[in-house]
Amino acid sequence: MPRTPAPDEGDLDSIPPPHPVFHVEQALLGALLLDPQHLRDVTGIGPDAFSTAAHGALFAAIRSLPAPDPVEHAKNTKWLAAVLTTAREQVRGLTAPHLHSLIQVCPWPRHAPAYARMIEAEHARRRLAAAAQRLTHTAGDTTFPQHMATTLTEADALALVVDDISARFPPHAGSLPRTSTPEPVTAHDEDAVDEERLLLATATAHPSDVEQMRWLMPGDFTQPLHAGLWQSLIALTRRHAPVDPVTVLWEARHRGLLGPGAEPRELLDLLAGPVGSPEHWAERVLQRSLLTTIRHVGRRIEAFTDDPATTPYQLVVGSRRALADLSAVRTRWHHATASPAQADKTARTRAAKATAAPRARPPRATGPPASRSSR
């Protein structure tokens, strides 16, 4: 009877080789096991910086035990046995031969600080990738309670990770990432199309509200035709021209918006069905735009972290540029959703700065100057 292979037997070729940082971790651990005195030169990393639980457990054990006397350590393996016992409390599969193999693969123990810096850099990459993935997932999952607030909280957490990496690896000139980033994806969403049409219709019916919604930009629309019609509305209101479906149609004609799929009758029908208030639909359009921007930012940063050629310095520069794009849309979102009290407070603050009285000066003397007393 033929022997049935185990599920994973014969499939060893499908197991991916370890990442380069795995070998760096082995070299660092071997250096510290061979000469524990090098631990004082290792900074910037903890057990969580290692890519495997076994490596993290060994580093934690080495760090928790007092360094042995160099002479005694060269004569016996008592300290190595203590490290193994301590590490086994977290990972039971560790063996003494494994520790000796780590010592054997270490090229130069005195290079321990360089190995630690490499591990710190790869840990920064993993942290940034995880934060970007959480942001992308949160932005796309509408089941989260208070979805918008939760997503923005994740964006803040990602920014904190970038700041921390920047403090560890300050960027320098010429450190732009060379990674090709994904193009923005705008999926066809019937709800988004309907909301944009309702916004255009209600804004045409209430043009006085358009001037108050400067926080909404043509780029927030998912349909180029809708973006062009919004630009037409803005142009008419800024010129204080009459606004109705016919005047918007005429402005759209001058902007080259008419054509197949945008016939005059269709545009007139689109602009003639107002429901609700322009502010409500504009906020809906901007919210979708903000979530789309957040997802794209997350994917851009993930692309940086997936490229092994991207250095920590380049990760910082690329991530900050991506977050700057998000900040611009986020600022407009805050303007749109600020409460009347907040908006009034902001307006008063700006007005006070603009009309601030000059500093008080000593009053001018109107009478003859007082005579100086003789000394």
**Eight-state DSSP code of residue 173:** T
d(CA 200, CA 270): 8
Q: How many domains does the chain have?
A: 2
Q: Which two tokens stand for residue 287?
A: 């919210």
Residue 5 lies in a domain: no
Contact 208, 330 (CB under 8 A): no
> Side chain identity at 322, as an amino acid letter?
A
- Residues 320-347 as b/e (b if ≥16 CB within 10 A, e otherwise) read eebbeebeebbebbebbeeeeeeeeeee
The pLDDT tens digits for 129-188 are 999 999 999 999 988 889 999 999 999 999 999 999 999 998 877 677 787 777 776 666
Q: How many CB atoms lie within 10 A of CB 96?
A: 11
> Over 80: is that where the pLDDT of 224 sits?
yes
Contact 129, 306 (CB under 8 A): yes
Considering the domain architecture, whether residues 52 and 201 belong to the same structural domain is answered as: no
Q: 296: domain range? A: 117-171+188-338
Residue 255 lies in a domain: yes
Contact 162, 319 (CB under 8 A): yes
The pLDDT tens digits for 34-43 are 999 999 999 9
Considering the domain architecture, whether residues 89 and 144 belong to the same structural domain is answered as: no
Residue 9 lies in a domain: no
Considering the domain architecture, whether residues 101 and 167 belong to the same structural domain is answered as: no
User: Which CATH number characterizes residue 273's domain?
Assistant: 1.10.860.10
Considering the domain architecture, whether residues 295 and 167 belong to the same structural domain is answered as: yes
Average pLDDT, the chain: 86
Considering the domain architecture, whether residues 103 and 122 belong to the same structural domain is answered as: no
* Average pLDDT estimate for 312-326: 93
Looking at 61, 89, 107, which one is the last position of a domain? 107
Considering the domain architecture, whether residues 30 and 167 belong to the same structural domain is answered as: no
The pLDDT tens digits for 50-94 are 999 999 999 999 999 999 988 999 889 999 999 999 999 999 989
Report residue 346's pLDDT band, with 50, 70 and 90 as the boundaries: very low
Q: Say which residue, 316 or 142, is predicted with more confidence.
A: 316
Considering the domain architecture, whether residues 103 and 252 belong to the same structural domain is answered as: no
Report residue 292's pLDDT band, with 50, 70 and 90 as the boundaries: very high
pLDDT of residue 7: 47
User: Which H or E run includes 347?
Assistant: helix 340-354
Residue 283 lies in a domain: yes
Considering the domain architecture, whether residues 93 and 202 belong to the same structural domain is answered as: no
Residues in the chain, overall count:
375
Considering the domain architecture, whether residues 58 and 195 belong to the same structural domain is answered as: no
Rg (CA), the chain: 32
- Residues 263-297 as b/e (b if ≥16 CB within 10 A, e otherwise) read eeeebeebbeebeebbbebbbbbbbbbbbbbbbbb
